Structures are given as C-alpha cells and as structure tokens.
A and B are shown apart, each in its own frame.
Chain A
Amino acid sequence: MEKKKNSHSTLVKNSGLGVLIAFSFSFSILNGQQSLETNYRMTGEAITGMFEPQREAIQKFSAVIYDGRDEIVYGVVISEDGYLLTKASEIEGVSGLNVRVDRQSFKKAEVVIVDPRWDVALLKVDAKGLIPADYAASSDLTQGTWVIVNGATSRTKRRIQVGVISANAREIPPSGGAVLGVQLKGDDGKLVIEDVSEGSGAEKAGMEKGDLIINVEGTKVGDIEELMKELEGKKAGTAVKISVKRGDEVLELDVTLSARDELFQQMDRNDMMSGDFSERRSGFPRIIQHDILGNSDTMGGPVLDFDGRVIGMNIARANRAETFAIPVEELKVLADGMLAQVPK
C-alpha cells in the first residue's frame, strides 16, 4: 500500500494570526556571490564527518524501516531479540514492512503494539544479538547542546545529521483540540451522525452515517453539549468508549480521538514553506526540541547526545524550523511498558 503523504494541494487556512516572512525574491541578488561549498555546510560531510563515534552508535542501534524497497521511517532498537520502536502513523496500513539494522536485513517485521498517545509502534523482527539503545540518564540538556540523529542511509552505512537542542521541553497539545471526526446533528434528544470524516478515529472504529451516539465512557449523552462535556480535556490519541445505536443494535466502539487540524489538514503559510512535515505532529505529553532539518521520513530514529547515548526518539517534524522528540525518561517507560505487554 502506498504511504500517505501530505497533500500539498489542500486548502490554505486563513488563520487570522498571520506570521510574517517575505519570500524569495532574493535569489537574483545572491547569484554569482561568494558561496560556501556544500561539504562545509551544517549538513556537509566536513561537519557531520567529525561525529564518527556518534555515527557508529547510530549505525548500531537505529533501524531503517522500508515498505518494500522504499525507506519510510527510522526506528530505535530496544532489545537484543528484535524489538524496536518507530513512529506509528508513518507505518499505518503498510503491508510490506521490512527492516534494516546495521548491515543486517530483516525481510519481515510485525507490528506488535501501538501506543496512540505517543504515536509509537513496537515492531518485532526475527533477530538475535542486536545491540539495544544505550539510554542517557537524562534528556535535560542545556539549549545549544549538540544532538545527533539519522541522516541518509545506504544498505551498509547509516549517515547522520547534527544540530542542537533548540527550545524548552514541553507538552504539545493537540492542534485545534481533540475530535471524534464526525458531523453530528442534535435531533430531539437524539445525537445523529451525519457524516464520518475520512481517516478519523471514528471511521477506523467503524462508525457510520446514521448511527446514534447514546453513551460516552458510561455516561448517557443526548445532545452535542453533553457529548462535548464528556470529551473535554481528552487528548488526541486517547481511546474513548462510545456506544452507538444502529437500527436495533447497540455497538460498543473504541474511538481514538484525532487532533482537529491534523484530521482536516488545513495548510497555513508556514506549513507551505515547511516541506514534507509529519502528519501527526501535535498531541504529545512532553517533547524535547532540536533544529535538525528533516521530513516525515526521517522521524522515528534515536536522538543522541555527544556521548552517543539516546536522549530521545524523533517523533515529529513539526515545521520548517522545529523537530520534536520523545524525551528519554518517557521513552524508557514507554519501551519497558510495551515490552511487558508483549503476549508470551
């Protein structure tokens, strides 16, 4: 199946809060002027090549995840026997999952568990003797501290990209709030689903046009206000138990809430200058931020400190200037929790 990409032809959002930057009528001004050779720029080999010990760590415990032969995202190896973590929304619906770690190739990878809150999936490949990520004690690094992540890759060699911690660690609330992804009509004490948005948690849970929502998390709901009250304060990625009536039948559904802005993918001006950013880029309990260039395909891999230890896992290319990573404190808890849930 083809991986979903951001459609750059979606509506331009008129957000009211414009942000200012002028576009590039300056190329002509710059042409023919002094220019630094690519090799010496931040992404160039003369800079990244100086981080060889850190690159070797990336080589050992980062994973490259493919759909058939297409590289789709990176991952972090968390056990010797083939468990690894990646960004869940980037592998959703992919049928030809296969994985490369160091020089080894694994033809089959299985999705074991998904944590929608962090957008992390636990994958399993048939392996022995892998080198698991070496966790750092803390992700609490001063702004301006070097960090190292996956760059381009070849069959045998992982390359890297480098940058610095670029902002305060913090929560990223869901953009536009958390929603079910349905259009509703309140009709005489009944809550009727008029439409189900494509790609929403409601659609995935099997909600249909014409269903009546009767109960949310054990509480009866009869109008939109009552429903909103039950959903209030809930975050994108959380599953909500919802009972719907379809004809004479009552169905119990687990609906995962979506972030409104991501569901409807409205692009503002900043999005349009941000290239291929992550579709799921909000609704994270806590993140650390760095300034390394990337796109939706370069997420999921480890973020290393200068000692080559894991301080986090890349989880969202938010925009042109910001990349988010799950801090190692939370990543360890998540990894251990997921491994503990694996059916024996």
Chain B
Amino acid sequence: MCLLPLVGTAFPLNSKKAPETQDDLLSVQEALQKALPQASAATVCIDLGEGTGSGVIISPDGLIMTAAHVSTAVGKKVTVIMPDGKKLKAKTLGLRADADAALVQIEDEGTYPFVEINKGPAAELGDWVFSVGHSGGFDKDRGAVVRLARLVRMANNTIQSDGTLIGGDSGGPLFDMEGRLIGIHSRVGPQLPVNMHVPMKVFIESLEEMKASEFIGEGPFATAPEKGAGFFGVATKGVEGGLEITKVGRSSPAEKGGLKEGDVIQSLNGNKLATREELKSVLAELAPGDELELEIIRDGKEEKFTLNLGKK
C-alpha cells in the first residue's frame, strides 16, 4: 500500500525535515514576503484600557479572533486599533476559558482586511510558520512585528513555536507560509524559544457558540461571571410608585452612574420594582460587569440611567 500525496498548496519545504540548499532558504523568504502584507494588514491591537493585546480579523465585516485572557469577558466594550492607527469600537463575543480562545466583533461599519483560516489538515511538527503581533503595545511607526519560526511541539490544545512572543502579542496570529491562520498567541515559558499558541482546531470546534456570545469552559484563562456577586451600592426603601434610594455608597457604581439620594427607582432592566426583595432577586441573577438600565423619578420627572455592576 502506498499513500497518495496530498493535493493542495502546502509549502513545499515543509515536506523536508531541514532545508537542503540555499534555494530552499530563499523559498522561505519568498513565501514570507508574499504572505506578510495581508497578514500584517489584518493584525490589530486590542486596547482594553488596563492593557493591550493583539487580534486578527477573519471576515470583511470585522470578526476578530483573539485570546480569552485578552478579551477576559463576554459583551465587554473594547477599542480595536488598526495598523494605520485608526481606532474602532468593538465588543467581545464568546470565549473558551479552558483553551484561551475568544472572538471580538468590530461594531463600526466598514470593510476590513482579513485573513483566511487554515481549515485543512492540522499544522505539523517542524512546519515553517510566522507570528505577527503588536509586541509591547501599539506603535504606528514600527508596525506589527513579524517573527519567523518552526513548530517545535504539538499537543492537543497547544502548539509551540520558537518565534519569541512578548506581552502585547497575546491574541495575535500565527500563520502558515501561505498566510493562512493556524493559531493564536497565548503564553510564553521562561526560556526565549518557548512560545505557545492556541491551534485553530479549538476555535473551529467552538465557533458558533463563541459567535453566540457564550462563555465556554472554566478557567484558567478567563473567570466566569459569578451571579449575585455584583455590587450596586444603594440602600433603598419601598415607597409609592417604586423604590426610593435612601443612601448612595461613596465611589459605588450607583454614584459613578449618577444616582442620587431621593431618586425613586421604578424599574431595573425592565422589571418593575416595589420592594427591596424584588431588587435583591433581580440583582441575584446578574454578575459583576453586567449592565443595569434604570428608570427613575427625580424631582417629579422620569429619567433613565445606565451603569455597570461592580464587584462586591
């Protein structure tokens, strides 16, 4: 029996264990230079306020793959920085907390540069690959940084390359030599050549759930929101027509959201409120970071407020 060779556009040098001629070396350079412009154009910086990571656009309408430890939560507002420095509004979709995979969607309308995903046979040990990312944060003059590497270790939910990653690269793309996405940067070991990526398989098997903004799996890369652990920061008493705020905690989410003593809450996220127990049971279903939409009466007038729950 003899196996038929695979048909496709696989990078020829991957069939050799090592380059055998200087022309083999030049074939690496040629492939990299051909694939790099589009790969870099689609590699974005994700600014979370408290830090930055990277991501890669995989559809013309701005769907982004990144790492779960970059997005950290579902439904969070983030800023995406394009290679030319343009800042775009974006929202985190679902994530896999067990394998460091996540999606982000650009919300500003537009047609964005994107890369193709390698959906074919998994990348193999020894394959030539390259990493791109906004190492150390966004730098327009520098641009995204590329690193040429080989795949040096393979495991179920992790592939390892010898192209060095650093903070800020997290969530950025790992490509095969045709410029197809094969992994997302995740973490590093203490030695320079130890650099870990999440393989595409993990993203592909959970793509629909992540698109539907599901939080999948338990840790270690993201912590699931804990229901009932949200902090609002008001004391209330039931009055006619709602729930009156008798005290607003200093620096609480309620104070930051603009609520004041004497405001009468009529409804919270569409639930009419008349008693403290009702407020408690609505909050019991929500988690830190969740959004509260409040209808209140202040000085006889109806007003609306929106704020996010803090952490107890």
Contacts and interface: CB of A to CB of B under 8 A. Distances in A.
- Asked if chains A and B come from one complex, the reply is yes
Contacts of B187: 21-26
A20 B142 contact: no
B177 to A, nearest CB: 10
A273 B36 CA distance: 26
Given A20-B51, A41-B150, A164-B29, A289 B192 contact: no
Contact of B192 (A26, A27, A146, A275): A275
A322 interface: yes
A163 B148 CA distance: 7
Contact of B152 (A36, A291, A293, A319): A36
A321 B165 CA distance: 6
Contact of A146 (B29, B130, B155, B157): B29
B184 to A, nearest CB: 12
Interface stretch (A126-134, A137-145, A227-235, A332-340): A137-145
Interface string A149-164: 0000000000000011
Interface in B227-249: none
A36 B150 contact: yes
Interface residues on B, range: 35 or more
A50 B146 contact: no
B193 A293 contact: yes
A256 to B, nearest CB: 26
B269 interface: no
Given A21-B166, A34-B125, A320-B166, A170 B141 contact: yes
A146 B22 CA distance: 11
Nearest to B167: A19
B164 interface: yes
B73 to A, nearest CB: 14
A270 interface: yes
B31 to A, nearest CB: 9
A265 interface: no
Interface residues on A, range: 35 or more
A270 B25 contact: no
Contacts of A11: none
Contacts of B190: 24, 273
Contacts of B160: 30
B243 to A, nearest CB: 38
B155 A30 contact: yes
B146 A270 contact: no
B95 interface: no
Contact of B189 (A27, A36, A40, A142): A27
Interface string A167-185: 1101100000000000000
Given A20-B170, A35-B153, A322-B135, A43 B142 contact: no
A270 B36 CA distance: 25
Interface in B49-71: 50-53, 67, 69-70
B26 interface: yes
Given A42-B162, A293-B164, A319-B166, A47 B18 contact: yes
A36 B164 contact: no
A36 B51 contact: no
B159 to A, nearest CB: 9
Interface in B19-50: 19-22, 24-26, 28-29, 32-33, 36, 40, 48, 50
Given A19-B136, A320-B164, 13 more contacts: A19-B166, A21-B170, A24-B187, A29-B157, A30-B155, A40-B126, A42-B163, A46-B17, A47-B19, A163-B148, A164-B32, A166-B147, A270-B166
B167 A293 contact: no
Nearest to A32: B155
A293 B186 contact: no
A338 to B, nearest CB: 28
Contacts of A146: 25-26, 28-29
B188 A25 contact: no
Interface in A62-117: none
A270 B168 contact: yes
A29 B168 contact: no
B189 A24 contact: yes
B202 interface: no
Q: Considering the complex of A and B, which 5 residue pairs feature the smallest CB-CB distances, nearest first?
A: A19-B167, A18-B51, A46-B18, A144-B32, A19-B168
A18 B136 CA distance: 9
Contacts of A27: 189
A33 B157 CA distance: 12
B146 A167 contact: yes
A40 B50 CA distance: 39
Interface in B190-205: 190, 192-194, 196
B163 to A, nearest CB: 7
A3 B296 CA distance: 69
Contact of B146 (A29, A144, A293): A144
B169 interface: yes
Contacts of A145: 29, 33
A293 B192 contact: yes
Given A50-B24, A320-B164, A20 B70 contact: yes
B69 A22 contact: yes
Contacts of B29: 144-146, 164, 306
A269 interface: yes
Contacts of A30: 153, 155, 158, 160
B221 interface: yes
